[in-house]
Amino acid sequence: MSDTSRTRLKDLPLSILLGIGFCSLLGFLLGLRILNWNPDLTTNLQSTFFLLLSTSYLYAILGLIVGILFWVLFFILSRILGKDFAGRKFVKPWIVLYCVLSGLIFIYLALTRQDLRSGNFDNFILIGYYLSIIAFGWLLIRSLQPKTHLTGNRRRNVTLPKFFGITALYFVVIFSYTLFTASVSDSDVDYGDPEEIKASMKNVNDDMRIAIVGWDGAEWSIVQDLLAKGDLPNLRSLIEEGVSAPFKSLPSTKSPLVWTSIATGKLPSKHGIEDFGSFQFPGMVNNFAEYPDGLGLYRLISRFMSQADLPVTSTTRRCKAIWNILSEANLSVGLIGYWASWPAEAVNGFVVSDRFTYTLFNPRSSIKSLKQGQTYPSELLNELSAFCRLPDSITDEERSRFMPATGGKQAYPDDWDEDQYEDWNPLYQFELAYTAAESYRGAGLYLYQKYRPAFFTVYFQAVDMISHFFWQYHRPDEFVSVPENDVARFGNVLPETYRYMDEILGEFLNVLEPGTDVLILSDHGFGFDLNPRVSFRTGEHRLHGIFVASGPHFQNGLELDEINVLDITPTLLHLYGLPVAEDMDGQVLTDVIDADFLDIYPPQQIKTYETGRRVSSITRSDADAQVREQIRALGYVN
C-alpha cells in the first residue's frame, strides 16, 4: 500500500474539525446546564447568548488540541499497521476512538469526581453528552458512506444535508427544553406586595440601637486562652454581661458566603454569593456561580478567559441585606468594610466598602483604579482619605508591638526565599492586615460619631489573615517542625492581634450611644492546616467561630451550646420591631433575647421583603486582577 493512501497532512483539518465539533458540543451542553442551574440567566437573551457562545468556544479550543493529537495518533498507526486512515475512511475510526476514550474517561469521572471544588459534579451531563456523541457519530458515519452499500445497491438513507438538519433540530429542541425547565424553576420565586411590606414597617422600633463588630476568623480556643490570662478585658465584660456561644458557620466557611448569609438570613443558593468569585463572560449582563464541575470548565476559563473569573461584589447579591430593609424602614445605617460591599450601595446612611483599603487587593495598585463606589455617599471618599493607610506606612514602633524580638525591624522566616511569591510572605500579610484594620478603625470611629446610625457594623479581617500565616508560630506543637528562631520572633503576632482587636473594640464601646446592643461575630474559627495550598499558609478555617451579644435587650451571663449564622438577621429584624421574612432560612434567637422584651414584642412574620427580581451581576474594576491575586495568596483559590 502506498503512503498516499495512509493518513496525510491534508487529513489534519478534518481531524481538527471533528475535534472542535465534538468538544464544542460538550461546551454547549455545559452552557445549557448552567442555564438550568442559574435560571436568572434565561431572563436576559444577551447573557444566554454569550454564555453558550463562550462555553462552546472554550471547549472548541480543547477540541483543537484533541483534533491535532488524534491526527498524530492515526498518522503513526497508519505507518505502523499499514492501514488506510485517510479521507472518508479517516472519519469512522476517529469517531470510534473518540467514543471509546470518552466512555472510559466518563466512567472514571463518575466513580472518582463526586466531591469537587464546587461540589457540583453532574452525571446527567456525562450521560447526555455520551448518548449525543454516539448518535451524532453514527449519523455522520452513515452520511459519509458511499452512495451504495457494499452489500447491495440500496442507497444510503442519511445524507450530509439530512445530518446537518438533524443536528440543527437537536440544538433547537434541547435549547427550548432548557429554557422551559429554567423558567418553570424561576417561576417558583414569589415576590411580596410593596404595600404590605410598607405597612409591616409602621411599628418599627426607631429607638433601637445595634452595633456589630466583625472579627473574621476569631477562634474560641485562643479567646479562652487569652481570657484565662486576664487579657481581652472589653470582650470579657461583654461575655459576662451578655450571651456567648460557638457560632456555627456554613458547610463552606468561605468568608463572602458566610458574611452575606449573616446579613441576609439566607443560604448562599438564595443570596447568590457562593464563592470568592463568580463568572461573567464578556457580553453577559448576569453572572453565575453554579456550574457542572469536574469537566475542565474552571481550568479552561482560568487559562483562556480569565477575565470572566471575577471577585464577588455587592451587585452579585440577589436579595436584600439587613441594611437595605432597615433603610426602607427609614432607619439610619452605617457599614464599614463589610464583605462584598463594593460598589457601595445607596442606603439611608453611609457605606465604606471593602475596597476602601487594599486588604483584598494588591496595594501597589493605584487608587485611581477605584475612583467609583468605594463609599456612599461618594463625597465621603475625600473626607476619609486621610484614614486610609498602605502597608509601607507601618512604623517600627507599631511592628514591635507584635514582634518585640525583632526590635520592630522587618524580619522574615528563616526558610523564606527572596525569590518566592511576595504576597505569600507572612510579614507582608501582617502589614496588609494591620494597616487595613487601622484604616477601618479610624474611618469607623469618625463616621459613627458624626452620624450615630441606628444600625452600625464594622468589619476587621486582621485575625483571619494573620491566622492563616502565623498559626504555626503560635502553636508550633501542632506541626512537625517549626524553627525555634521563628517561634521566638513571630509567636506573639497572633495573640497580640486579638489584644489589638479588643483594644479597638473598647474604643467603639466608649463612643456608642447608651443602650446600644453590641454583637461580636466571627464567621468561622481556626485550626492548623497540614496541607497548605501556598507556602507559609498553615492556618485553616474551622466550622465554629464566636458569638457574643450584650446589651439591654439580651440575656445576662448566658452560655449556649451553639448559634447559627443564619439567625442573626431574623433576630435583628425582630429587635427593630420588624417581621421576619418567611423566605429567610434563619429564625429569631428567642433564647438570647430578654424575656420581658419577648413578652411585649412576640416575633411576627411576612412572606418576603423582595418586591422583584434583583439582577445578580459583577461590577468590574481595574483592580479585579489584584483582588484575585490576594485571594490566591490566602490560599482560597488555585
pLDDT digits (tens, 9 = 90+) for 394-450: 999 999 999 998 888 888 887 776 656 566 678 888 999 999 999 999 999 999 999
DSSP letters for 366-402 = -GGGG-SSSEESTTHHHHHGGG---GGG--HHHHHHH
What average pLDDT does this structure show over 31-56? 90
Instruction: Using the predicted structure, report yes or no on whether residue 142 has a pLDDT greater than 60.
Output: yes
Rounded to an integer, what distance in angstroms lies between the CA atom of residue 297 and that of residue 317?
Answer: 23
- pLDDT single digits (tens) 307-339: 888 888 898 999 999 999 999 999 999 999 999
Give 613's pLDDT tier (boundaries 50, 70, 90).
confident
Looking at residue 148, what DSSP letter applies?
A: B
Q: Angle formed by the axes of helices 493-511 and 220-228, to 10°?
A: 80
Query: What is the reported pLDDT for 150?
Result: 47
- pLDDT single digits (tens) 184-201: 665 556 788 899 999 999
Rounded to an integer, what distance in angstroms lies between the CA atom of residue 92 and that of residue 365?
Answer: 55
Grid coordinates given for 322: 439587613
Query: What is the reported pLDDT for 60?
Result: 96
Q: What is the mean pLDDT of the chain?
A: 87
- pLDDT single digits (tens) 68-79: 999 998 888 877
Rounded to an integer, what distance in angstroms lies between the CA atom of residue 11 and that of residue 74?
Answer: 10
What average pLDDT does this structure show over 589-612? 92
Give 454's pLDDT tier (boundaries 50, 70, 90).
very high
Choice between 159 and 63, residue whose per-residue pLDDT is larger: 63
Torsion angles phi and psi, residue 593, rounded to 5: -85, 145
Instruction: Using the predicted structure, report yes or no on whether residue 621 has a pLDDT greater than 90.
Output: no
pTM assigned to the model? 0.86
Pairing of strands 539-542, 525-528: antiparallel
- Of 88-97, 160-169, 491-500, which one has max mean pLDDT? 491-500
Query: What is the reported pLDDT for 189?
Result: 64
Grid coordinates given for 30: 455545559
Distances (CA, A) of 89 to 79, 98, 337, 402: 15, 15, 64, 73
Q: Which residue has the cell 474560641?
A: 220
Residue 185 CA from chain centroid, whole number: 23
Q: Which residues are CB-contacts of 630 (< 8 A; sequence separation ≥ 6)?
A: 359, 360, 361, 362, 423, 432
* Amino acid type, 311: P
Query: What is the reported pLDDT for 359?
Result: 43
> Percent of the chain, pLDDT > 70?
86
Rounded to an integer, what distance in angstroms lies between the CA atom of residue 78 and that of residue 69?
Answer: 14
What average pLDDT does this structure show over 526-547? 84
Instruction: Using the predicted structure, report yes or no on whether residue 628 has a pLDDT greater than 80.
Output: no
* Amino acid type, 39: P
Instruction: Using the predicted structure, report yes or no on whether residue 637 has a pLDDT greater than 90.
Output: no
Query: What is the reported pLDDT for 57?
Result: 96
- pLDDT single digits (tens) 225-238: 999 999 999 999 99
Query: What is the reported pLDDT for 433?
Result: 93
Query: What is the reported pLDDT for 5?
Result: 55
Query: What is the reported pLDDT for 593?
Result: 96
- Identify the three-state secondary structure at position 469: helix
What average pLDDT does this structure show over 259-266? 98
For residue 470, give the nearest of 421, 371, 561, 539 by alpha carbon.
539
Instruction: Using the predicted structure, report yes or no on whether residue 615 has a pLDDT greater than 70.
Output: no
Which ranges in 229-266 belong to alpha helices (H)? 233-241, 255-264
Give 360's pLDDT tier (boundaries 50, 70, 90).
very low
Rounded to an integer, what distance in angstroms lies between the CA atom of residue 75 and that of residue 265?
Answer: 60
Torsion angle of C-alpha atoms 253, 257, 262, 264, degrees rounded to 10 = -160
Choice between 584 and 633, residue whose per-residue pLDDT is larger: 584
Other CB atoms within 10 Å distance of the CB of residue 495: 18
What average pLDDT does this structure show over 48-77? 93
- H or E element in which residue 571 lies: helix 568-575
Q: Which neighbouring-strand residues pair with 580?
A: 605
For residue 288, give the nearest of 303, 265, 308 by alpha carbon.
308
Q: Is 82 left (phi over 0), alpha (psi -120 to 50) or beta?
A: left
Encode 276-341 in three state secondary structure.
CEEECCCCCCCCECCCCECCCHHHHHHHHCHHHEEECCHHHCCCCCHHHHHHHCCCCEEEECCCCC
Rounded to an integer, what distance in angstroms lies between the CA atom of residue 172 and that of residue 122?
Answer: 22
Instruction: Using the predicted structure, report yes or no on whether residue 364 has a pLDDT greater than 60.
Output: no
Q: Is 142 exposed, middle or buried (0-12, 13-18, 19+ CB in 10 A)?
A: middle
Choice between 194 and 9, residue whose per-residue pLDDT is larger: 194
Query: What is the reported pLDDT for 49?
Result: 93
Query: 155-177 burial string, b = 16+ CB within 10 Å, else e?
Result: eeebeeeebeeeeeeeeeeebee
Pairing of strands 243-248, 563-564: parallel
- pLDDT single digits (tens) 107-124: 887 777 654 444 456 778
Choice between 129 and 633, residue whose per-residue pLDDT is larger: 129
Q: Which neighbouring-strand residues pair with 457?
A: 212, 335
For residue 598, give the nearest of 635, 554, 546 by alpha carbon.
554
What average pLDDT does this structure show over 10-22? 91
> Percent of the chain, pLDDT > 90?
53
Give 636's pLDDT tier (boundaries 50, 70, 90).
low
Lowest mean pLDDT among 7-11, 43-47, 267-271, 309-313: 7-11
Confirm if 342 and 373 have CB atoms less than 8 A apart: yes
- pLDDT single digits (tens) 556-568: 999 999 999 999 9
Query: 204-236 burial string, b = 16+ CB within 10 Å, else e?
Result: bbeebbbbbbbbbbbbbebbeebeeeebbebbb
Set out the domains of the chain in order of their start, with CATH numbers: 3-186 (no CATH), 208-276+312-414+425-617 (3.40.720.10)
Instruction: Using the predicted structure, report yes or no on whether residue 372 has a pLDDT greater than 80.
Output: no
